[in-house]
Chain A
Amino acid sequence: SYELTQPLSVSVALGQTARITCGGNNIGSKNVHWYQQKPGQAPVLVIYRDSNRPSGIPERFSGSNSGNTATLTISRAQAGDEADYYCQVWDSSSYVFGTGTKVTVL
């Protein structure tokens, strides 16, 4: 079965840039989606199809996908960006989530 690997945690200084990676075999050939989840809340879609932002998501969130790694970038990080982030793809009639990354804003 397909697997997606993310770093357990990422720390970023207030106002700086955080990059969260999502590794998978030839993930560049798949559509990658990213979700933000805050404690006690349902996940929220922040990036779809590699690099597209849903309405209401700040431009500070961006994404890329190539080769074996997809990346979610959070620019000018704010305290409100502290959350868990998950990547996700569709593979062979099933959906796969990454292991999740906790982002801490210092």
Chain B
Amino acid sequence: EVQLVETGGGLIQPGGSLRLSCAASGFTVSSNYMSWVRQAPGKGLEWVSVIYSGGSTYYADSVKGRFTISRDNSKNTLYLQMNSLRAEDTAVYYCAKAATVMGAFDIWGQGTMVTVSS
């Protein structure tokens, strides 16, 4: 079965760090375009970061310099390292798969909640 499962969310103080994981099954992470998308409570979807099949990475301006996307091909897993967290980073974080660079996100994980609060 093709699926994505995110883990690693939780409550973290402002300025802290957290690493999210997204385990894939049924397809190969490194052959696809893998993104993180977040949704703040009651708000819309916001794209966060992507790692291309070739390894290039891109970030939304709101997280550039603070978040790092990566993957472990041996574990078929996607990661998001989040540093210097702010209250405005509070959101459900989804990982999502696209087959091509301009392709649609055809597979989504169930999401993991990150709450940044003191």
Chain A interface (Cβ within 8 Å of chain B)?
A: 1, 30-31, 33, 35, 37, 42-45, 48-49, 54, 84, 86, 88, 90, 93-100
**Cα A44 to Cα B105 with chains together (Å):** 9
Report whether B47 and A95 are in contact in the complex, using a CB–CB cutoff of 8 Å: yes
Tell yes or no: B11 within 8 A of A by CB. no
Report whether B105 and A93 are in contact in the complex, using a CB–CB cutoff of 8 Å: no
Report whether B50 and A44 are in contact in the complex, using a CB–CB cutoff of 8 Å: no
In this complex, how many residues of chain B approach chain A with their Cβ under 8 Å: the count is: 21
Report whether A42 and B35 are in contact in the complex, using a CB–CB cutoff of 8 Å: no
Tell yes or no: B104 within 8 A of A by CB. yes
Tell yes or no: B46 within 8 A of A by CB. yes
**Cα A94 to Cα B35 with chains together (Å):** 10
**Cα A93 to Cα B44 with chains together (Å):** 20
Report 14 cross-chain contacts, Cβ distance below 8 Å, ordered by A residue. Answer: A31-B104, A33-B105, A35-B45, A44-B108, A45-B105, A45-B106, A54-B106, A93-B58, A94-B60, A96-B47, A97-B37, A97-B45, A97-B47, A100-B45
Report whether A42 and B94 are in contact in the complex, using a CB–CB cutoff of 8 Å: yes
Chain B interface (Cβ within 8 Å of chain A)?
A: 35, 37, 44-47, 50, 58, 60-61, 94, 101-106, 108-111
Q: Could you say which residues of chain A place their CB within 8 Å of the CB of B109?
A: 42
Report whether A99 and B44 are in contact in the complex, using a CB–CB cutoff of 8 Å: yes
Instruction: Tell me the dominant secondary structure on chain A's binding face.
Output: strand
Question: Which residue of B is nearest A43, CB measured?
Answer: B108
**Cα A36 to Cα B40 with chains together (Å):** 17
Report whether A90 and B101 are in contact in the complex, using a CB–CB cutoff of 8 Å: yes
Report whether B58 and A33 are in contact in the complex, using a CB–CB cutoff of 8 Å: no
Question: Which residue of A is nearest B48, CB measured?
Answer: A95
Report whether A86 and B106 are in contact in the complex, using a CB–CB cutoff of 8 Å: no
Report whether B44 and A100 are in contact in the complex, using a CB–CB cutoff of 8 Å: yes
Q: Could you say which residues of chain B place their CB within 8 Å of the CB of A95?
A: 35, 37, 47, 50
Report whether A90 and B105 are in contact in the complex, using a CB–CB cutoff of 8 Å: no
Minimum-distance CB pairs A-B, first 6: A33-B104, A48-B104, A95-B47, A100-B44, A42-B108, A90-B102
Report whether A42 and B44 are in contact in the complex, using a CB–CB cutoff of 8 Å: no
